[in-house]
A = this chain, B = another copy of it.
C-alpha cells in the first residue's frame, strides 16, 4: 500500500463518465477516443474499458445519464404547450449547457451505431413519457411532432444561431410556439392565455 489515497471504484467510474460526457458532447462519437477520455479522467484506457466495456457502451451510459436529466418537458399537460415554448426560447442562445443532450445527439449523428443508441434513448426518455402525458388519441404521433419542433428550435437557435431566432423577442416567439404546440398537445386554450394578435383572431 502506498501513501497516495486510492480512489474508490465509484468515484473513478464517475470521473470517467464525466470526462466522457464532456468529450462526446463537444466532439461527437467519432470525434473522440477512449484514450483521450481516459487521459481527461486521469486513468488509463485499459481502466476505462475495464469499467465500461467499450467506447460504445461508455457512450450509451453517457446518453442515459444526459437524457435522464430531462428538464424541458414537465409533467402537466395543461401547461405543457406554454412551458415547453417558454423554455425553448429563453436563456442565452450561446449557453450550450442547456442543450447538452441535443448537442450530444447532433454531433454523433454521423455514426450509425451512435444513432441507434440515441434513437433508443430518445424513445424511452422522451417519446414515451410525452405520449403517456398527452390526453386523447394519436398521442404517439403528436408527441413525435412536439419532439421534432423542440429539436428544430434547438438546431436553429443554438447550432445555426439563425438571426431570425436569436434576434427575435423571446416572448413573441414563445407565444407563437405555444399556439403551434396546442393542437399537438390536444388541450384547448386555457382562459386568460395571452396569444399573439393574429392567433387570437382565428
Copies in the complex: 2
Closest to A146 in B: B180
Residue total for A at the interface (Cβ-Cβ under 8 A) = 61
Contacts A152-B152, A160-B109; is A165 near B186 (CB within 8 Å)? no
Residue of B nearest to A27 (CB): B110
Question: How distant is the Cα of A155 from the Cα of B152 in the complex, in angstroms?
Answer: 8
Could you list which residues of chain A lie within 8 angstroms of chain B, going by C-beta atoms?
A: 28, 105-107, 109-110, 115, 118-119, 122-123, 127, 131, 136-138, 140-145, 147-153, 155-157, 159-165, 168-169, 172-173, 176-177, 179-184, 186, 188-189, 195-199, 201-202
Given A137-B198, A149-B148, A176-B184, answer yes or no on A164-B127 (Cβ-Cβ < 8 Å). Answer: yes
Contact B176 A180 (CB under 8 A): no
**Which residue of B has the minimal Cβ distance to A173?**
B141
Give complex CA distance A33, B42 in Å.
35
Closest B residue by C-beta to A197: B137
